[in-house]
Amino acid sequence: MSTPPAQEYRPGLWIRGITPPLRIADFKVAAFDMDSTLISIECIDEIADAVGRKAEVAAITEAAMRGEIADFKESLRRRVALLEGAPASALESVYADRLLINPGVEAFLAACRSAGIVTLLVSGGFTFFSDRVRERLQIDETRSNVLEVENGMLTGRLVDQPWGDICDGAEKRRALLETCERAGVAPREAIAVGDGANDLPMMEAAGLSIAFHAKPKVRERAMVSIEDGGLDRALQLFDDLPGAV
């Protein structure tokens, strides 16, 4: 099936295959990627900085997010292996000193909460950060990866969890669909927001997909692409919000 052409709905806000205004009341679940979507950094790249391997890790991250590495799990294992020997204290330093919430995120999530939407953070990153971001942003649920720590140092390995080994694109999609099922709603009543290739499976399962300052492959397939401004730009698509124009 061919992808419909994009139209610039407003400056820096592109749409395809939808006709605004939409109604936020039509959506019951919203799933969000974390790194470079809800937050300003790729956490794994910043942890790698602590062991002098940021350039090497960041190059793999960038290739994976562009979709040039087909196996996300393998790319993540390669990057995590390069973190071996980093002090666990580096995680706290990254969170405290480098992690910022992206513009417009809090406003978009506030609108979701006001509409009674169940929110889900699904990340190929790590629970150390996702648990804190979840609490900070009052997100309902989260799924991400656990870094193994021994004697205060990262081992370069991940810890298996009850749902599986690594939260990749397929797991993000599964988490979204499971959340919809628990909420008793159809996937068409879900919103999915991301920026990288591993977000596409959940974005394509959702009724509304939003690319936020995303890689070209993601912008080209999302229903909404925010290319200028914060995540709250997406609220301009809805006419049932206070102050909607």
Domain residue limits, the chain? 7-40+101-237
Catalytic residue (choose from 35, 49, 168, 195): 35
Query: Looking at residue 69, what is its pLDDT?
Result: 86
Query: Looking at residue 237, what is its pLDDT?
Result: 97
- As a whole number of angstroms, the distance between CA 142 and CA 39 comes to 15
The answer regarding whether domain 7-40+101-237 maps to CATH 3.90.1150.10 reads no
Instruction: Walk along the chain (245 residues) in steps of 10 and give the mean pLDDT of each run.
Output: 85 97 98 98 94 93 88 94 95 96 98 97 98 98 98 97 96 98 98 97 98 97 98 97 69
**Strand-pair category, 29-32 with 208-212:** unpaired
Tokens of 24: 């936020």
**35 given a catalytic annotation:** yes
Query: Looking at residue 65, what is its pLDDT?
Result: 87
Query: Looking at residue 50, what is its pLDDT?
Result: 85
Tokens of 59: 């190059």
CA-closest candidate to residue 141, choices 58, 24, 29, 228? 29
Query: Looking at residue 66, what is its pLDDT?
Result: 87
Catalytic residue (choose from 26, 33, 71, 165): 33
**33 given a catalytic annotation:** yes
